[in-house]
Amino acid sequence: MSTTTANKENISEKKKDDKKVDVKKFTLKTPKGTRDFNDKEMAVREKLISTVTKIFKKHGAVTIDTPVFELKEILSGKYGEDSKLIYDLQDQGGELSSLRYDLTVPFARFIAMNGSKYQNIKRYHIAKVYRRDQPAVAKGRMREFYQCDFDIAGVYEPMIPDSEALVVMWEILKEVDIGDFIIKLNNRKILDGMFQVCGVPEEKIRPISSAVDKLDKATWEEVKKEMVTEKGLEEEVADKIGEYVKLKGSKELVDILEKDLNFSSNLKVKEGLSEMRTLLNYLEVMGVLPSVSFDLSLARGLDYYTGVIYEAILVKSSVDTSGVGSVASGGRYDDLVGMFSGGAKIPCVGMSIGLERIFAILLKKTKPESIRATETQVYVCGIADGTLLDRMKICSELWDAGISATFQYKDKVKLGQQFKICERDQIPLAVIIGSGEIEQGVVNLKLQYEGSKQVEVDRKDMVTEIKKLLNIA
């Protein structure tokens, strides 16, 4: 054996050894903050997404799609303190990119790029987004997750698009039936004016707003400590803020705040209160006002919001929802498109459904045995061996008629085993054939969930009879 050949064999053996070592060390798992979904879980997810999509379409929305990653400069500076959660990608060919953090900024970029064609659009977008957050999978907080967005862009009468976005949110949360909820409303103009009235320096308004945004998870004492200790706010200023952020109500709160002349004389507050009065009147007309709370503690941490902001939280559910947080949120962002289009202002308002959080609640509510993962309507069974080709032919006829059907991929079959598959997959109807049925040109139809009812029909009438039994038009 030559030295060269021996060296090649040694290298080959070393590679094999390395692979063996790697396999022993390697742990099969999904990356942190991600997860797989099994067939039953996907059945629940698909139904949820279908429900959301149906309501989006009912309100006249069209859908678009954007890349899963954007240029880094597109996303930078749009999310306030949350910008640290953006996933940056390595430089590939001279372009710095990041995985999209949400679907709102890509939508604004899309509007800016496509000019006048999309200056007036009602759109929905359901797609994955990515955040380098600390995950809590059981509560639906992930690093990779779906967002379901509904947005209206264009110049319209004030608060009409805002009211419809809120109605869409309300309808979806009613339809998915995860529990009683409240939609908290505020307005960035009121919030910023409140900070001015209380004496917050201009450069600290956004950081202080970010602190207030934590009031749904932290006590006022904790938030105040962050304002004073970490962000350098005067204690008496923080105390003034504390008096306002405890206020909540409905149309009557607008009256109360307008009578507070020190508060309502601020131009931002005055404009914001006018918008809130109009919006609450529209929501009353549309029948959703009882589910809404005008809440001055709501801040929403994202920097791009300019007007009305809102989020929905559960107040009662049949399962434990502690730590879940908001299940939907949104607001008005009139200046975001202008950041990409050289200042051309295209007003926008939108909302996002917390699909993963709703999904986590639905899984808790649903018994696994009650979930039907397949939509198969018919199982074609053979009584004895030698029926494979006939079962194939029957399935083909059913598929051609638009009926979901399947059969066992074996020539030698046992009827009991086939019935077990029907029961396992909750398939409602079985077509049963044997040599006798084949010769006579008939089939037996058996409904699995109606007292094992079985009827014999002519083969030529099979499709019609199956459609009748399954109530298929």
Does 100 appear as a known binding residue?
Answer: no
C-alpha distances in Å from residue 200, one per residue of 300, 353, 372: 18, 33, 56
Q: Which residues contact 131 (CB under 8 A, 6 or more apart)?
A: 82, 85, 86, 87, 101, 143, 145
Helix (H, G, I), strand (E, B) or coil at 454: strand
Does 131 appear as a known binding residue?
Answer: yes
Does 104 appear as a known binding residue?
Answer: yes
Does 219 appear as a known binding residue?
Answer: no
Residues 160, 165, 171, 176: what is their CA dihedral angle, to the nearest 10 degrees? Answer: 180
Question: In 3D, which of 437, 429, 438 has the Cα closest to residue 463?
Answer: 429
Helix (H, G, I), strand (E, B) or coil at 132: coil
CB-based burial label for 429 (10 Å; 0-12, 13-18, 19+): buried
Q: Tell me if 145 sits within 8 A of 165, measured CB to CB.
A: no
Q: Which residues contact 25 (CB under 8 A, 6 or more apart)?
A: none
Does 188 appear as a known binding residue?
Answer: no
Q: How many Cβ atoms are within 10 Å of 15's Cβ, its own excluded?
A: 10
C-alpha distances in Å from residue 112, one per residue of 50, 74, 228, 347, 400: 29, 12, 40, 12, 46
CB contact burial 352-371 (16+ within 10 A = b; e otherwise): bbbbbbbbbbbbeeeeeeeb
Does 146 appear as a known binding residue?
Answer: no
CA-to-CA distance for 349 and 333, rounded, in angstroms? 6
Does 151 appear as a known binding residue?
Answer: yes
**Residue 451 DSSP label:** T
State the pairing for strand pair 292-295/69-71: unpaired
Does 277 appear as a known binding residue?
Answer: no
**Residue 202 DSSP label:** G
Cα(first)–Cα(last) distance of the chain, in Å?
A: 77
CA-to-CA distance for 146 and 128, rounded, in angstroms? 4
Question: In 3D, which of 306, 349, 326 has the Cα closest to residue 104?
Answer: 349
Residues 44, 364, 135, 227: what is their CA dihedral angle, to the nearest 10 degrees? Answer: 120
Does 304 appear as a known binding residue?
Answer: yes
Q: Which residues are annotated as a binding site for L-histidine?
A: 102-104, 131, 147, 151, 300, 304-305
Q: Which residues are annotated as a binding site?
A: 102-104, 131, 147, 151, 300, 304-305
